[in-house]
Each structure stands twice: as C-alpha cells, then as structure tokens.
C-alpha cells in the first residue's frame, strides 16, 4: 500500500516542488521508475542517442535511468529536478562511480543553461506529471517547458519524451512542436504496457521524438509519423487528428489485451488490423470464448481464417454463429479472421506468416510460448473473391459488386454498400450459361476460356444469374406468404397486382414476375443507381408486367392511396434504412408509423396481404412497430428467419381469414406445387413452404 500512499491528493500536485520533496523524503533512496527502466525502453531510445551526445535529463527523480545510460557509454549527462532532496541523494550516489555525470536543482520551466548547448533532452514522465489536465493555466506551464527545451537544444537535437500519451498531453506536445517546424515521430515502446517500480498499467508507453529543424522560409509542411511496431517503417499522417486517432487505437488495443488477460471469459470482442502502407483495415478479428469446451493442452487457442466473401454468413458474421463455430471446432478461445474486399492476399501460408505474431497477443493467459497454435479454415484455402464493379451512388454511397465462391463450389454475386460492409444488400447465385446482360467483359473472358485453362478468380465472369434461385431466406418467406391470398393453387395463372417497395438486386420482384405468369409487379426504388446495378449485374429487366418507378416510397404510396385505393393484392416492403443509429435497419421508421400504415391498408384489396421485412435489434422499438401494425391490420403473423435478424410480418385486414399454422403451411405447399411449372426451371435445394413452418400469430 506504500506506493498508493505516496500518490498526491490532486493530480495538479504532480507539478509542485513541495509534493516531490515529501515524496522522496518518505520513499528514501529506493528508486522509483515511471514507465519502465532503460532495458525496457532501450529499443526506441537508442535510435536517437549517440555516445558523444550532450544529454539533459529533465525531472530525473531518483530513477536509475541516467545511471544505466552512463554505464552503457552515454557519459555526457546532466540531470535536473526541482527536488533538492533527490538531487542531493542522486549526486552522492554517483559522485565516485560516475564522475562525469552531474545533478542540479533546477526548474524545467526556467533553466539556467545557455542556448543550444544540448543534443538531447530526455524526459521520462515529467511532461505527464506537469500536464495533468487541459486547462488553460496548465497548458501555459507546458508551453513554457517546451520553449525552454527548444531553447537549450541545438538544431538537429532531439527531445525524447517517454509518456502514456493521454490525448491532451499528446495534442499539446505535437501541436506546439509541429507549429515550430520540428519533425514529430511517435514510437510505441515495443508494445509493452506501462510500468512503475510499484506495478503496471494497462496503457502502453510511447516515446515522442521531436527533432529541432532549421526553419525553411515559406515551408508550411509538417512531418507527423508513428512507429507502432519494432521493425516497421514509420507511418506518416496528414493531420494531428489522424495521428492522435492512431495512438488512441493502440491504447484501446492494449486495454483490450489487458481485459482479455484478466477476464478470459468476456464476450465476443472485435478489432481491425490495418495495413502499414495505407492504414486501411486489412483483417477483422473476433475473439470468441467458448466455456462449453473442456480445456486441455491442445484445445485452448486456435485461429480460423474465414474464406473471402463469406464473412457475412451467419456462422462467421454473428456472435451466436461464431460461438457455434468455436464449439464445433472444439477450442476454448477462437479468433476468427475476416479478409477485407479491398486487400490482396497471396495464400493461406502468407496470411499465417503475417498474422502469427499479432494473434498470439490475443492468446489466453498461461499458453506456453513455444506451443504451436493451429490455423483453421473451410477446405484449407482462403476462398475466391472477384470485385466486378465499384461505384458511388449519390443516395446510397459507395458500393461494390463482388463474386465469391461458396462452400459448395458455386459462385454468388453480392451487392454491398460500404457504409455497412458487414451486410450483403443483395445476393444472387450464378450458374453456367450466357453472361449477365451488360457485362461485356464477361463475354470476352468466356471466349478466352475455351482456349486457355480457367483462372479460378475469373471463373464467375463466364456465369449468369440463376433466376430460379432465391438466395435470401427472407425473400423465400415473402414469396411463400402469398399463399395467404385466396385460391393459392390458381395464383400462377390469375391476374394479380403486387407492389414492391425497394428493388435491391431485383431478385424478389423478378422471381414473382417469372413464376406468377399473370402477375403485374410494380417496384418503387428511390435510387436510380440501384436500378442500373440490378439491370447490369443481377439480370433484372423491366417489361409489360414488370415496371420500376424511381420515386420515394413514402410519397408514392401516399399519393396512390388517395388516387387509386384497393389497387393491390399484395404489398411488400423490403427497403433498408440508411440510419443505423435508430436500432431498426429495415424499413426506415417512417414506413411503420401509424398514419402511413393506414395508407398502405387503403391501397390494399380487402383480402390482400401486406408483407414486411423487419430488421430490428431494439426490443422496445419492435413492440412499438407490432402495435402499430396490429392497429392497421388485426390479423398479423410473424416468422423469424433462423440465424438472421430478419423477421417477416404477414398482415391482413380481416381476422376471419385467420389460418392455424398447420393450415398455413399446407396452403404454402399448395402454392409451391402450383409454381413448379414444367416449362420453367425450379430449384429443389430448399422447400419454399418450410419458410412458414415456424409462423406465429401475433
């Protein structure tokens, strides 16, 4: 408890000479080491120290750092501190052993040295002790210290400051010296956590290297760099804010490691590992703890590489799925690694080599240093991902079209908005046949493939959209829900009208158009860029029975409800929200407000069905939505999609139409049988009627 008792009552007391007099009097001659000893800090510091340098150590205290430096050959050292007691102690201790080293009582805010007399000023914790907060008076004291350091250093001299890099400290130091035209470089001290001679902190230690440069007239450029790893090249930043953000990320990573060490059973934890060159996310790691697995020597820790393009699947993209993966693999702690679409990966072996050192920092405590940790994957490879197209929509933002290889060796096409990269917005299966309309590059590659061996990464470009297959489970449920219309056995042959709000890749309206042969489908899509994507990349095309209106769904429904009530047999909402902060990503909240739902009801025929894809993670908000739906539609069924957040709601106006779950599924079977026309391809890998097996009345 002695170390705690010596700490001040207020942080501001760290800057008081009286406090340090009491501190060293009570502590005696035992050294107190802030942030580690010379051996722990040697690697970053010795890059900027030469034996012949004249070194000033500010706020030396009774640290052994100067003595260790002297013994290592750096003998031109002057130490200063505001505590007379500690200067007397240290001077007496080194008088005979280190005759060239001196100790002086001096305030770093007002030093007696002439200008430009040192090559190095070394500071271990003094700035942190002085700059206890971001108040104006405290910052003014820090700037006086900076000015004095700048005055006594020669051009080309270095201010080496060992610090915890709290945001206000880092900002004050970098801002001051960069404005003065100095070169700024921040080192993380070998990834070590901060220590004192009394114990450790969870935060890492950083070394600021501020190099005094001669002013260049007319030059306004600033050099701001970070060396995060021991042997890495410095990363250069364009702004102070970006540098501070990068340091903060390193601190958060250290805290995460500390928490994992102290609480091995903490929940699903995720973090991004960035590339050194551009600073872009290269890997996304999830640390999964599986207490159900009985621990043995060989099953404590493993790394699982998720194949490219499959990171959004339930097994890899959800906390529940990753827990199941860890349990199936039989490991107590599993780190899943997702590969990013905009990064290149050579092979599984190259990924292992790149990740081995970093992922071991996430290993459970007690794992033997030499123990071999297995790298796992599906099929032993990293998968195939081909970016077919990248563009930006003025409404939806940046997006990509990618083709990926699934676990059954089939290829799938994805539309992904980069604002929500963990969600596949639209998906379609690819099959052999003529390439997709509009994909001219695909035609060329297919022709070449007849002469040359097929490149797996380009194989998908010779494939076309399989329109018989509904990739998304919620689309299957929405189609199956049409069995709620009367006479489901005749639906493929009778004229019905369906309104779909939200186009996406167009799979849902296209399937309804192709299999309900007399159906007229109208789609409302607010973003014209999405219509272009659906047409060029997902095999979508308009026709006599399939129309697309580029309009705001809210305005379109409101206008049509007043002009042409009771127009549609079915209305479907499959529209995403751009605002992820509300806890409901589909549909936007305005689409489920009571006044608007009344307009939807007015637009629907009396025995029609309103089908809504709801993605809501907020339980209270979901209850509010269900209450609003029940007010407009007394008959309400709900079907949660297993392994997804999606919930499909089937709404009707008349309670007399209610069907028990068993009859509802039987009706879906009748519809499915009617849809299976001999003249049209039908995918038998799933049963459409099964989507209504777990339907519940609300």
Reported as a single tens digit per residue, the pLDDT across 472-494 is 999 999 999 999 999 999 999 99
Higher pLDDT, 441 or 68: 68
Q: What residues have CB less than 8 Å from 647, skipping those under 6 apart?
A: 613, 614, 615, 616, 622, 638, 639, 640, 641
Predicted confidence band at 5 (pLDDT cuts at 50, 70, 90)? very low
pLDDT greater than 90 at residue 558? yes
Reported as a single tens digit per residue, the pLDDT across 398-439 is 999 999 988 777 899 999 998 888 788 999 999 875 444 444
| CA 103 and chain centroid, separation | 50
pLDDT of residue 437: 40
Task: Say whether 170 sits in a helix, a strand or coil.
Answer: helix
- 8 Å CB contact between 658 and 697: yes
Predicted confidence band at 651 (pLDDT cuts at 50, 70, 90)? very high
What distance in Å separates the CA atoms of residue 144 and residue 612, rounded to the nearest whole number? 65
pLDDT greater than 80 at residue 226? yes
pLDDT of residue 300: 85
**Mean of pLDDT values over 602-614:** 96
pLDDT of residue 450: 33
pLDDT of residue 365: 80
pLDDT greater than 60 at residue 672? yes
What distance in Å separates the CA atoms of residue 317 and residue 310, rounded to the nearest whole number? 8
Predicted confidence band at 510 (pLDDT cuts at 50, 70, 90)? very high
Look at 135-144, 175-184, 185-194, 208-217 and tell me which has the smallest mean pLDDT.
185-194
Share of the chain above pLDDT 90, in %: 53
What the block records as the tokens of 240 is: 């102070």
pLDDT of residue 156: 96
Task: Identify which of 514, 483, 480, 540 has the alpha carbon closest to the alpha carbon of residue 681.
Answer: 514
Pair type for strands 281-289 and 269-274: antiparallel
pLDDT of residue 445: 36
pLDDT of residue 455: 47
Look at 55-59, 157-161, 258-262, 529-533 and tell me which has the smallest mean pLDDT.
258-262
Predicted confidence band at 190 (pLDDT cuts at 50, 70, 90)? low
pLDDT of residue 452: 35
What distance in Å separates the CA atoms of residue 447 and residue 636, rounded to the nearest whole number? 52
pLDDT of residue 192: 54
**Mean of pLDDT values over 132-147:** 93
∠ CA 690-694-697, nearest 5°, is: 130
Any long-range contacts for 315-320 (C-beta under 8 Å, 24+ apart)?
A: 317/422, 318/643, 319/267, 319/268, 319/286, 319/288, 320/643
Task: Identify which of 462, 459, 515, 533 has the alpha carbon closest to the alpha carbon of residue 672.
Answer: 515
Any long-range contacts for 81-84 (C-beta under 8 Å, 24+ apart)?
A: 81/20, 81/105, 81/106, 82/17, 82/20, 82/106, 82/107, 82/108, 83/17, 83/20, 83/21, 83/23, 83/24, 84/21
pLDDT of residue 278: 60
pLDDT greater than 50 at residue 30? no
Scan for tokens 């903490």, then name that residue.
266
What distance in Å separates the CA atoms of residue 65 and residue 245, rounded to the nearest whole number? 30
The DSSP bridge partners found for residue 546 are 521, 543
Task: Say whether 523 sits in a helix, a strand or coil.
Answer: strand
pLDDT of residue 442: 38
For the ranges 96-110, 339-353, 359-373, 437-451, the maximum mean pLDDT occurs at 96-110
Predicted confidence band at 447 (pLDDT cuts at 50, 70, 90)? very low
pLDDT of residue 220: 66
Share of the chain above pLDDT 70, in %: 87
Task: Transcribe 259-324 into DSSP letters.
Answer: HHHH-TT---EEEEEE-TTT--EEEEEEEEE-TTSPP-TTSSEEEEEPPTT-TTSHHHHSHHHHHH
Q: Whole-number mean pLDDT of the chain?
A: 85
Reported as a single tens digit per residue, the pLDDT across 347-386 is 889 998 888 888 888 888 877 766 788 888 887 778 888 9
Predicted confidence band at 13 (pLDDT cuts at 50, 70, 90)? very low
The DSSP bridge partners found for residue 651 are 610, 636
Strands of 281-289's sheet in order across: 269-274, 281-289, 333-339, 301-305, 375-377
pLDDT greater than 70 at residue 610? yes
pLDDT greater than 70 at residue 2? no
What distance in Å separates the CA atoms of residue 424 and residue 312, rounded to the nearest whole number? 7
pLDDT greater than 50 at residue 228? yes
**Mean of pLDDT values over 151-163:** 96
pLDDT of residue 499: 97
Reported as a single tens digit per residue, the pLDDT across 285-335 is 999 988 888 877 778 889 999 999 889 888 898 888 898 899 888 998 899
Length, in residues, of the chain: 698
Task: Transcribe 33-52 into DSSP letters.
Answer: -BS--HHHHHHHHGGG--TT
**Mean of pLDDT values over 19-43:** 62
pLDDT greater than 90 at residue 456? no
pLDDT of residue 33: 64
């Amino acid at each position: 408890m002695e170390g705690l008792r010596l700490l001040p009552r207020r942080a501001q007391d760290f800057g008081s000479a009286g406090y340090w007099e009491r501190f060293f009097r009570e502590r005696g001659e035992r050294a107190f080491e802030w942030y580690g000893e010379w051996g722990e800090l040697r690697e970053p510091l010795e890059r900027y120290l030469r034996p012949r340098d004249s070194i000033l150590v500010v706020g030396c205290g009774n640290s052994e750092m100067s003595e260790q430096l002297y013994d290592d050959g750096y003998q031109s050292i002057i130490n200063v501190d505001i505590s007379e007691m500690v200067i007397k102690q240290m001077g007496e201790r080194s008088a005979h052993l280190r005759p060239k080293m001196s100790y002086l009582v001096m305030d770093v805010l007002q030093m007696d040295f002439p200008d430009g007399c040192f090559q190095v000023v070394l500071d271990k914790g003094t700035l942190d002790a002085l700059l206890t907060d971001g108040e104006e008076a405290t910052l003014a004291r820090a700037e006086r210290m900076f000015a004095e350091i700048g005055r006594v250093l020669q051009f080309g001299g270095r201010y080496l400051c060992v610090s915890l890099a709290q945001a206000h400290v880092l900002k004050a130091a970098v801002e001051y010296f960069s404005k003065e035209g100095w070169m700024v470089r921040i080192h993380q001290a070998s990834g070590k956590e901060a220590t004192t001679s009394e114990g450790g902190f969870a935060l890492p230690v950083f070394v600021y290297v501020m190099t005094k440069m001669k002013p260049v007239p007319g030059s306004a450029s600033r050099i701001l760099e970070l060396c995060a790893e021991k042997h890495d090249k410095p990363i250069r930043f364009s702004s102070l804010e970006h540098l501070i953000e990068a340091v903060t990320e390193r601190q958060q990573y250290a805290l995460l490691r500390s928490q994992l060490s102290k609480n091995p059973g903490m929940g699903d934890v995720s973090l991004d590992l960035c590339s050194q060159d551009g600073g872009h996310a290269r890997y996304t790691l999830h640390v999964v703890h599986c207490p159900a697995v009985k621990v043995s020597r060989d099953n404590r820790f493993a790394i699982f590489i998720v194949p490219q393009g499959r990171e959004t699947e339930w097994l890899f993209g959800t906390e529940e799925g990753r827990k199941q993966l860890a349990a199936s693999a039989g490991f107590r702690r599993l780190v899943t690694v997702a590969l990013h679409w905009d990064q290149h990966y050579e092979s599984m072996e190259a990924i292992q080599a790149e990740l081995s050192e970093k992922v071991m920092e996430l290993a459970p405590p007690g794992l033997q240093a030499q123990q071999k940790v297995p790298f796992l994957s599906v099929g032993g490879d990293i998968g195939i991902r081909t970016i077919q197209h990248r563009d930006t929509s003025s409404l939806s933002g940046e997006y990509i079209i990618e083709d990926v290889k699934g676990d059954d060796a089939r290829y799938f096409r994805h539309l992904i908005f980069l604002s929500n990269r963990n969600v596949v917005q639209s998906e379609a299966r690819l099959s052999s046949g003529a390439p997709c309309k509009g994909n001219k590059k695909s035609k060329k590659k297919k022709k070449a493939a007849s002469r040359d061996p097929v490149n797996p990464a380009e194989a998908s470009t010779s494939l076309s959209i399989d329109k018989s297959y509904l990739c998304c489970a919620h689309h299957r449920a929405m189609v199956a829900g049409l069995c709620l219309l009367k006479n489901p056995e005749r639906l493929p042959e009778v004229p019905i009208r369906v309104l779909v709000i939200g186009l996406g890749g167009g799979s849902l309206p296209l399937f309804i158009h192709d299999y309900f042969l007399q159906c007229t489908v109208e789609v409302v899509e607010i973003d014209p860029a999405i219509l272009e994507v659906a047409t060029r990349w997902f095999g979508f095309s308009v026709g006599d029975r399939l129309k697309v209106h580029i309009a705001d769904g809210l305005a379109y429904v409101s206008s049509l409800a007043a002009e042409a009530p009771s127009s549609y047999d079915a209305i479907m909402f499959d529209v995403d929200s751009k605002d992820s902060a509300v806890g409901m990503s589909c549909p936007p909240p305005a689409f489920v407000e009571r006044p608007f739902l009344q307009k939807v009801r007015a637009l629907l025929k009396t025995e029609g069905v309103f089908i809504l894809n709801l993605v809501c993670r907020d339980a209270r908000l979901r209850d509010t939505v269900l209450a609003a739906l029940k007010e407009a539609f007394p008959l309400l069924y709900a079907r949660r999609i297993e392994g997804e957040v999606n919930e499909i709601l089937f709404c009707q106006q008349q309670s007399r139409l209610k069907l028990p779950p068993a009859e509802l599924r039987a009706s879906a079977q009748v519809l499915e049988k009617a849809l299976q026309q001999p003249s049209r391809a039908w995918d038998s890998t799933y049963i459409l009627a099964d989507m209504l097996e777990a339907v519940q009345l609300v």
